[in-house]
Amino acid sequence: MLDVNARSFRGRVCEYKIDDRSITTPAVLRSGTDVPDDGIIVSSKGRTLRFLGKEIPLDRTVVTSASSGVQSDIEIIGSAALVRLPFPERMEFPDDVDMVIVPNAFDLRI
């Protein structure tokens, strides 16, 4: 469940809950080889997002970069949708998707 707790012209603060666990956004997740709770696990097999009790693989065999101009496909894993930049022209998610993950969002340049 996603609750919007505060809004301003600069953004919003939201709380995302699954059962008895929650995370407030915007949030920074740790990454490394040994992350105790929520974060991104880095191993020889690739990156895995550990988030509120779920583990979602972030690396695919074919990847795109934000500047490639090649639109990516949407990959559904459980209740999460993985979409790499650049986004497809049309995005539709099933009703049971409650999380959208952009694994290469660090490619964004302002």
Does residue 38 belong to any structural domain of this protein? no
In a domain, 26, yes or no: no
Task: State residue 106 phi and psi, 5-degree precision.
Answer: -65, -15
Residue 94: cis peptide before it, omega within 30 degrees of 0: no
Whether 88 is covered by a domain: the verdict is: yes
Decide if 103 is inside a domain: yes
Q: Note the pLDDT tens digit of each residue in 27-60.
A: 778 888 888 788 889 998 888 988 888 888 888 7
Percentage of the residues of the chain whose pLDDT score is greater than 90: 4
The domain tally of the chain equals 1
Domain assignment present for 25: no
The answer to whether residue 43 sits within a structural domain is: no
Domain assignment present for 42 = no
Domain span at 84: 60-110
Residue 61 has pLDDT above 50, yes or no: yes
CB atoms within 10 A of CB 14: 16
